[in-house]
Amino acid sequence: MTEDIEARLSAARTRLILDRPFLGALVLRLPLETAHPTWCPTIATDARKLYYNPEYIAGLSLAQVEFTLAHEALHCGLAHFARRAHREKHRWDNACDFAINPLLVAEGMTPPPKALFLADYEGMSAEEIYPLLEDDSVQQTHDRHLYDDPDDRAGDADSGHDRGGEHDDSPGGRPPPLAAAECQHLEHLWRQRLAGAAQQALQADRLGGVLARMIDTLLQPQLPWRSLLARHMALRARDDFTYARPGRREGEAILPSLRNAAIDVTVALDTSGSISKEEIDQFVSEIDALKGQVRARVNLLACDACLAPGSPWVFEPWEPLSLPETLSGGGGTDFLPVFDWAKGCDSAPDLLVYFTDGQGRFPGEPPAFPVIWLVKGRADVPWGERIQLN
């Protein structure tokens, strides 16, 4: 039986390399190891190795074995083991599986029994899926995620969760959880492996669709949106030195002096209902902190399909930025009212920042002033600079 299982695993890896070189390259980076069924009733990974229960593999078709191998490799390639942060483990594990499985199904692969799948989650990250899941869901992953401390696991092997007892060093024993330094090292290592696998597949013209877009997003430099926004606002600040000749009473020497003036920033909030009140509050708080640093006068507007009554609310650099107690919204999304308002002003804003999910009607032409879109979600924008919020 052992030889037969090893042959099936080898055949599945070979087919992945030939048919799906990107996934095959990732799978080859995971050494295979037989696991004891008490802690691994199906298949598992800890980002070091791929562990499998021979009886589980024996019950799958070859196509399903391909899926399970690719599934574990993507957990590692996407660094799910390093991205959980404060999130609850069981809910995070489900979100990770909901993120991976639609990608593999879209590739034409065959999932094993009980694999979590919902087509609506295709192209979404685990972080985007997590808040959409219930806190106490009974849904269970078909595999085991062995990255965390055993004390942080809920449930047991029979319930589909990750409790399996403390690790041991015997053959087939449960591996220890990742230490912080090892987790950081593996995150960097798997990022390199992901980039290498993607490059090989692209050279062979064998990578496209949702996987290609996801990899492109992951491999881009990840900067916090707050830092990016602060940089843009600072670049437009009017603090500068002047060498204009001073009055005669100040002497003949011409020394630089600092001149400054407030910049006009228009901030638009999408209140169509897709963005939560908590997220809007956090965004407004961040703008409030930034505007004082760069001496920005803020015109705050709220808009769904039309401008909210009372818009705009104007705040000077020294005034605290706050939302009105009652903020209407919840309708469809139309960006035109905000830009029509800005164009009708006596002078154009120095910068317009729009906080939105990007799902709405855009003006046909970009305005004459710079625009930054802070986008929650995956939607594209036709012009302006896009900053990913998630």
The domains of the chain, with CATH numbers, are 2-219 (no CATH), 228-240+255-388 (3.40.50.410)
Q: Is the pLDDT of residue 255 over 60?
A: no
Of 361, 192, 346, 157, give the one whose Cα is nearest residue 264: 346
Predicted confidence at residue 156, as pLDDT, reads: 38
Beta bridge partners of residue 257, listed in sequence order? 242
Sheet strands side by side (includes 144-145): 32-34, 50-52, 43-45, 144-145
Predicted confidence at residue 242, as pLDDT, reads: 46
Question: Per mean pLDDT, which range of 139-148, 158-167, 360-369 is the poorest?
Answer: 158-167
Averaged pLDDT, 278-295: 75
Averaged pLDDT, 164-172: 50
Distances (CA, A) of 323 to 190, 191, 275, 342: 43, 41, 15, 20
Tokens of 353: 């920042």
Q: Read off the pTM.
A: 0.58
Predicted confidence at residue 325, as pLDDT, reads: 74
Averaged pLDDT, 281-285: 78
Averaged pLDDT, 232-245: 57
Of 75, 175, 166, give the one whose Cα is nearest residue 126: 75
Averaged pLDDT, 370-377: 86
Q: Is the pLDDT of residue 288 over 50?
A: yes
- Most confident residue range from 65-79, 81-95, 329-343: 65-79
Question: Per mean pLDDT, which range of 114-128, 151-165, 188-202 is the poorest?
Answer: 151-165
Q: Angle at the Cα of 224 (from 218 to 228), degrees rounded to 5?
A: 110
Q: 116 Cβ partners below 8 Å, 6+ apart? A: 94, 97, 98, 101, 139, 140, 141, 142
